[in-house]
Structure formats: C-alpha cells, structure tokens
C-alpha cells in the first residue's frame, strides 16, 4: 500500500472509531475543507508572511494538516485516486500554461 493510501486508511480508521463517518459526505467534507483553509488564512491576516510564520508556525502546521485531511477524506469518499488526479491536473496545467508562454512573458 502506498503512503497516501495508508494515510487515508489511518484517517478513516480514526474517523470510524469515533462514529463520525455519517457526517462525512462530499458536501460536508468540501465545506469543512474550505473552513479549515479559512482558518489557515487567519494565521496570515494583517501580518507579513514572515511575521505570520514566526508567530503562528504551530497553528499553521495544524491547519495545513486539517486541509489535507479533509481533502484526502473527500477523495476517499468519492473513490478518487489522489496520485492520479494530481498527475492529471499537472498535465492540464502544462497545456494551459506551457513553458514557452512563461518564458515569452519574462522576455526570454
């Protein structure tokens, strides 16, 4: 089992041991992911990046973990392979933003 699938298995076991699975449908997981991303943003609000990291690194780590946890649970719920969808998105981005276009914008 690859590391991502093992992480998802651990997350789902944690969830299931607490009986939370009934609340983890795609809509609610997407909402929760968005809320956690907003909580991450709060760590940076009204500060420079440097100040935010210096003052809030532990909470930043926690919020990033929460975002990833909800994203992985959403993939699990939708039976999506994380590695495949990320590779597919990178390919789409490569077509949308080819290197030659970026170099032309930089004057190269």
Give the integer Cα–Cα distance in Å for 64 and 70: 10
Check residue 106 and report its DSSP letter.
T
Rounded Cα distance, 89 and 83, in Å: 10
Residue 77 CA to residue 12 CA, distance in Å, equals 10
Please give the model's pTM, rounded to 2 decimal places: 0.87
| DSSP letter, residue 23 | G
Please determine, for residue 24, whether its predicted confidence score (pLDDT) is greater than 80: yes
Mind listing the pLDDT tens digit for each residue in 27-78? Answer: 999 999 999 999 999 999 999 999 999 999 999 999 999 999 999 999 999 9
């Amino acid at each position: 089992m690859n590391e991502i699938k093992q992480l998802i298995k651990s997350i789902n076991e944690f969830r299931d041991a607490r009986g939370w699975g009934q609340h983890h449908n795609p809509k609610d997981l997407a909402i929760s992911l968005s809320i956690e991303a907003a909580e991450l943003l709060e760590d940076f609000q009204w500060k420079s990046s440097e100040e935010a990291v210096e003052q809030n690194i532990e909470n930043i780590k926690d919020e990033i973990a929460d975002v990833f946890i909800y994203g992985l649970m959403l993939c699990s719920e939708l039976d999506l392979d994380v590695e495949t969808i990320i590779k597919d998105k990178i390919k789409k981005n490569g077509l949308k933003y080819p290197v030659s276009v970026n170099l032309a914008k930089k004057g190269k």
